[in-house]
Amino acid sequence: MFSIDDTIVAIATPRGRGGIGVVRLSGPRAPEIARLLTRKNQPFESRRATVAHVIEPIGDAVLRTVDEVVVTWFEGPHSYTGEHVVEISGHGSPVLLEHIVSLAIGGGARLAEPGEFTLRAYLNGRLDLIQAEAVGDLIDAVTPAQARVAMDQLDGTVTAQISRVDALLFSLIAKCEACLDFPEEGFHFVEPSEVGSSLEAVRAALDALLGTASRGRLIREGRVVAISGRPNTGKSSLFNALLGCGRAIVTDVPGTTRDLLTERVDLLGVPVTLIDTAGIRASSDPIEQEGVSRARAARLTAEIVLLVLDGAQPLMDIDRQLLDETRGVPRVIVVNKGDCPAGWSIAVEAWASEAIVTSVVTGYGIDTLRSTLVREISEREECRDTPTLSNLRHIGLVESARDAVVRAGRALAEGATEELLLVDLHEARAHLEEVTGHRGVDDVLKHIFATFCIGK
Ligand SMILES: Nc1nc2c(ncn2[C@@H]2O[C@H](COP(=O)(O)OP(=O)(O)OP(=O)(O)O)[C@@H](O)[C@H]2O)c(=O)[nH]1
Ligand SMILES: [Mg+2]
């Protein structure tokens, strides 16, 4: 299903202009195509940067220079993909780079699919599936913690821990199989107590892996926070303050924000998707009505609601209604405009202890708001160690492996035969091998690599 015998090409650097842009070729014909593009008679020297010109014919015996480039050839298998790889660094203009790609295609290369370079690295055994997914996470990281977790996974921490558990399972399976092969020996090859303690060790190792998984997911995926409240309370002002830039329009006209505005921010290491929404009120304006219904929908899908009240104006029915509606869901209440004379008394309100007073004008309370949001987001998540697992696919499979091991333990306690135990043990191993990709399922691979961008 995945072909790896042709040569692929793509722009490996982000779209847009820059000092340098890189076109990457991978496959058996990569060096030959690079020589064709640069009209070089000599082979490139492996792992050495060579200045060259990409040249194209524009008529009979007339050649034109397309770009001055630096060519680096990585002779397979000592390359990212494990195949011959050529990187052509040209000037970072999308027009030039696309031109170089089209010349490479004319020379016999095929445009790479999203993630195909990393897919080839996996298929050629340069990376396992966990590491290949970590490449995607590393590229997508928006917080230092995300980058750290992804780099650890690329370094092989998860792979090493899974391999250790797999080795324990393997030796247990071998012993149980031996008992089956020589039935007259009974439990001669392994005593039930030894099977029991091995199963216990495997379960403990899987528990250790899963112990930091929810924090790992938090770091990888972050949380969605919707800013809600009636018009003019300062929602967009707070959105901008948390973002550190003037992303949203702020005016003193109630009903300024209509559409949802979504931005990713790093809140003390936690990636948060902040959504600014329209102020909630009854309106006859169809545009505002649509904004309000989107605001309500965003609040329902968000994991946390940041409810903004105006400290300078008396509380209104709509504020009380929003306070009621958000009771029982994770929320942070903000009483904004703390720099103005108070329009009402917070102290008498039942939820006063929950509220944070802020002022976007003076910056008062914004740091407290940040730390309160992070606390609300990461509640019950212990923060000490760098988590090992973070990817939902890995977590689900490790949980299934653990379930199978627990089932085996239960079966053993009930005096089950090795044959029955082996069913669960094989299942546990199969789940672990699916994590590392040693047991690959084509459509899983397709799904994983489709989330990459082209050139990775
Ligand atoms: N004094 C004072 N004014 C503020 C503060 N925060 C916001 N404002 C002002 O309040 C007005 C409304 O602010 P926005 O941020 O647009 O309010 P909003 O809740 O997004 O309003 P809508 O989009 O209409 O729902 C603007 O004039 C802001 O400058 C604050 O902390 N103190
Ligand atoms: Mg607004």
Under a CB-based contact definition with an 8 Å cutoff, are residues 282 and 210 in contact?
A: no
Q: Ligand 1: does its nearest atom lie under 6 Å from the Cβ of 251?
A: yes
**CA separation for the pair 335, 346 (Å, rounded):** 9
Residue 440's pLDDT is: 62
**Degrees, nearest 5: CA angle 451-453-456:** 110
Among 228, 230, 232, which is best to mutate for testing ligand 1, by the most ligand atoms less than 8 A from CB? Answer: 232
**CA separation for the pair 175, 95 (Å, rounded):** 62
Examine the pLDDT at 450 and tell me if it is beyond 90. no
Q: Ligand 1: does its nearest atom lie under 6 Å from the Cβ of 231?
A: yes
Q: Ligand 1: does its nearest atom lie under 6 Å from the Cβ of 235?
A: yes
* Mean pLDDT for the stretch of residues 3-32: 94
Residue 185's pLDDT is: 58
How far apart, in Å, do the first and last CA atoms of the chain sit? 19
Under a CB-based contact definition with an 8 Å cutoff, are residues 252 and 232 in contact?
A: yes
Residue 237 CA: nearest ligand 1 atom is 15
**CA separation for the pair 409, 193 (Å, rounded):** 11
Which ligand number lies closest to the CA of residue 278?
1
* Mean pLDDT for the stretch of residues 18-39: 96
Q: Cα(235) to centroid of ligand 2, in Å? A: 5
> Which of 128-142, 177-191, 308-322, 434-448 ranks highest by mean pLDDT?
308-322
Burial of 167 (C-beta count, 10 Å sphere; 0-12/13-18/19+): exposed
* Mean pLDDT for the stretch of residues 286-293: 95
Q: Ligand 1: does its nearest atom lie under 6 Å from the Cβ of 339?
A: yes
Residue 249 CA: nearest ligand 1 atom is 16
The pair of structure tokens assigned to 305 is 């609601």
Residue 379's pLDDT is: 67
Query: How many C-beta atoms surround the C-beta of residue 20 within 10 A?
Result: 12
Q: Cα(70) to centroid of ligand 1, in Å? A: 53
**CA separation for the pair 39, 158 (Å, rounded):** 45
Examine the pLDDT at 204 and tell me if it is beyond 80. yes
**CA separation for the pair 272, 214 (Å, rounded):** 16
Does the model's pTM come out above 0.75? yes
Query: What Rg, from alpha-carbon coordinates, does the chain have?
Result: 29
**Span 233-260, pLDDT tens digits:** 999 999 999 999 999 999 999 999 999 9
The beta strands (E) that lie in 176-326 are given as: 223-228, 261-267, 270-276, 304-310
SS3 label, residue 440: coil
**Span 405-422, pLDDT tens digits:** 999 999 999 988 888 999
* Antiparallel, parallel or unpaired: β 8-11 and 110-111: parallel
Residue 454's pLDDT is: 77
Burial of 112 (C-beta count, 10 Å sphere; 0-12/13-18/19+): buried
Question: If we measure between CA atoms, which residue out of 73, 74, 64 comes closest to residue 103?
Answer: 64
Q: In the structure, what pLDDT confidence band is assigned to residue 208 with cuts at 50, 70 and 90? A: very high
Q: Cα(230) to centroid of ligand 1, in Å? A: 11
**CA separation for the pair 158, 166 (Å, rounded):** 12
**CA separation for the pair 119, 132 (Å, rounded):** 7
**Which residue's alpha carbon is nearest to atom 4 within ligand 1?**
337
Question: If we measure between CA atoms, which residue out of 427, 432, 424 comes closest to residue 395?
Answer: 432
Q: In the structure, what pLDDT confidence band is assigned to residue 385 with cuts at 50, 70 and 90? A: low
**CA separation for the pair 399, 310 (Å, rounded):** 46
Which ligand number lies closest to the CA of residue 240?
1
Residue 238 CA: nearest ligand 1 atom is 15
**CA separation for the pair 402, 203 (Å, rounded):** 6
Q: Cα(230) to centroid of ligand 2, in Å? A: 9
The pair of structure tokens assigned to 111 is 């445009």
Which ligand number lies closest to the CA of residue 311?
1
Q: Cα(362) to centroid of ligand 2, in Å? A: 19
**CA separation for the pair 152, 392 (Å, rounded):** 16
Examine the pLDDT at 163 and tell me if it is beyond 90. yes
Residue 180 CB partners (closer than 8 Å, separation 6+): 418, 419, 422
The pair of structure tokens assigned to 55 is 């040249």
Under a CB-based contact definition with an 8 Å cutoff, are residues 147 and 454 in contact?
A: no
